Structure 1
Amino acid sequence: MGSGLDGDSLLRKVRLILGAFGTGAPVLGLSELARRTGLAKTTVHRVATEMVGVGLLNRHGRRYELGSLLFELGQRVPRTRDLRLIAARYLEDLALTTRETVVLSFPGDQDVLFVEKYFSQRGGGVAVTQVEGRVPFHCGASGKTLLAFGDPAIRERVMASPLRRRTPWTITEPARLEAELDRTRRQGYAIDRQELVVGYGAVAAPVFARGVAVATFTVTGPIDRLDVPRLAPVVTAAGRAVTRDFESVND
C-alpha cells in the first residue's frame, strides 16, 4: 500500500480501524474513528483512504463504513462457512423443540459474535434484539461457554481485562467468573440469569473442533420460563450433533 509505514505497523492500524466499527456504530466519522482507535486524525485519514481504495471501507462524504469485500472474504473462511451450513440444520429444530429463540455464536477477537438466529413463535427474538450482534465474553451463557471450553488465550485475555457490568447480575469479579467456568465445565453447559439482558436468561452448549469450543448453541427466553432441566439436555444434544457433523467433514 505505499504509505511509507512498515508492514506490521500498517496492519496494526488497519486492525484498529476495522475494530472500531460495531453493530451500534456501522458508520463513523474521522473524529470518532480517531477517538476509538487512539490514532491521530491524520493517520486515520491516510490509512482509511487506502482502505477505501482496496475495498475494505466505503466512504460517504466524511464518514466511513465497512466495505463489502470483508463480507466476501468472510464467506470464504472454510471453518466458518462449514459450521454455519451444518448448524442451520439444527437451529430450526432446536427452536421448535424449545419454543424459544436460538442463537449460533462464534468467538471473535474481543467479543462473542451472534452469527445466526432463529426466532421461534413464542421466543420472538426479544432478548437477542435488545443487544448488539457482539457482546463481551463474560456476559451471558454463550461467552461463558466459550471461555470454559474455548481457546485458553481468549480466557487469559478476558481475565486480565476489566469485567464491565451490563446488568445488576453481570459477573464482574474474576474469582467468581472462574468458579462459574469450573461449574460450566463440570455440567457441560452454561447458564445466564439476567447477566446480559434484564428479564432474560439463557442456556448454552459448546460445539467443538479438535477438543476446543469453536461455537455455541444458545437458547434464550424470559427468565420466568428459563427451565434449565428441560433446556439443557436438548441444547447439549444439538451441540454434540453439530460437533459430530462438523468433525466428519473436516477429517
Structure 2
Amino acid sequence: MSVEPEGDSLLRKVRMILGAFDAGSPVLGLSELARRTGLAKTTAHRVATEMVDVGLLNRHGRRYELGPLLFELGQRVPRTRALRLIAARYLEDLALTTRETVVLAFPGDQDVLFVEKYFSQRGGGITFTQVEDRVPFHCGASGKALLAFGDPALRERVLAAPLRRRTQWTITDPARLAADLEQARRQGYAVERQELVVGYGAVAAPVFAAGVAVATLTVTGPIDRLDISRLAPVVTAAGRALTRDFESVND
C-alpha cells in the first residue's frame, strides 16, 4: 500500500515522479508510478496530469514518459552545456587512442548519468549498449571517481545507503568501498572490474571545477583487454587537460 508523506509539497512530488523513470523503464503506468514513488494513486494521477499539461511528461493512453521539455531545460544549464562541448574532442581522441568505448559521465541526484558516448571501431558499438544511461554510483569506475574526488556529502550519502549488487563482483560492503575510493584518490583514477556488467571493466579519471569532480572521462571495454597500465595514463592525462580547458572557460 502506498504511504504518502503528509505535507509533501507539489515540487517534491514532481521530483519523486521524475525520479521514478530510468533507462530500463522509460514508460510507466499509473500503478507503477504510484508504487515507485509511494504516492497514493489519486495523487500520482493528479500530479502527473499537471506535469503533462506543462510538458514535463508525455502521456500515451494510460502510460507516461518523460517530456522533451526536460531535455531542452537541461541544455540551458551553462556549465553542463559548456563541458559537453569542450569534452567532445577528448572523447573522440580517447576512443581513437585506446580503441575502446569512451564515456563522459556527470553526477546525478541519485545515479551517475552517462551523457556522451564514443564507440570505438573495435567495440563496434556493442560494449556499452549493455549499460543503461543511469547507473548506481558504487558499481562503476565513473561513479567511484565521482565519489572519490567529488562532493564529500555525496560520498557520505552513498556509503550510508544500501549498496545493491549488480554482479557477483559488485562491492556491497561500505568499508571496502571506502577503501577502494581512498585508493582511487591516491592513484588519481578509479577502476572497476566486472562490478557493473559481467565481462567488462573500466578506468575513469575525474574532471574538476573549483577542486571538486564534476564529471569523469571513462574508458570501458572487455575485461580480458582492460590493461590498466596502458589505459590509466592516457585517461588521467585527458582528464587533466579537459579540466584545464573547462576551468579556463569559466575564469
TM-score by length of 1: 0.96
Report the Cα offset of residue 123 of structure 1.
Answer: 2.2
Report the Cα offset of residue 7 of structure 1.
Answer: 9.7
- Say whether 1:205 aligns with 2:205: yes
Q: Equivalent residue for 2:119?
A: 119
Q: How does 1:1-251 map to 2 (within 5 A)?
A: 9-251=9-251
Identity %: 87
TM-score by length of 2: 0.96
Partners in 2 of 1:108 and 1:246 — Cα distance?
A: 19
Partners in 2 of 1:185 and 1:17 — Cα distance?
A: 35
Partners in 2 of 1:72 and 1:7 — Cα distance?
A: 30
* Runs (5+) with no aligned partner, structure 2: 1-5
Larger deviation, residues 6-15 vs 68-77: 6-15
Partners in 2 of 1:152 and 1:172 — Cα distance?
A: 19
Alignment-mate amino acid for residue 16 of structure 1: M
* Runs (5+) with no aligned partner, structure 1: 1-5
Partners in 2 of 1:174 and 1:125 — Cα distance?
A: 33
Partners in 1 of 2:124 and 2:170 — Cα distance?
A: 23
Report the Cα offset of residue 8 of structure 1.
Answer: 6.3
Partners in 1 of 2:179 and 2:127 — Cα distance?
A: 26
- Runs of 4+ with >6 A deviation: none
Partners in 1 of 2:199 and 2:125 — Cα distance?
A: 13
Report the Cα offset of residue 127 of structure 1.
Answer: 3.2
Report the Cα offset of residue 125 of structure 1.
Answer: 3.6
Partners in 1 of 2:151 and 2:78 — Cα distance?
A: 19
C-alpha contact 1:107 1:214 (8 A) present in aligned 2: yes
Report the Cα offset of residue 124 of structure 1.
Answer: 2.7
Aligned length: 246
Residues 172 and 125 from structure 1, CA distance in 2 versus in 1: closer, same or farther, beyond 3 angstroms? farther
Q: Equivalent residue for 1:3?
A: none
C-alpha contact 1:190 1:203 (8 A) present in aligned 2: yes
Report the Cα offset of residue 76 of structure 1.
Answer: 0.1
Residues 54 and 208 from structure 1, CA distance in 2 versus in 1: closer, same or farther, beyond 3 angstroms? same
Partner SS for 1:165: coil
Report the Cα offset of residue 156 of structure 1.
Answer: 1.1
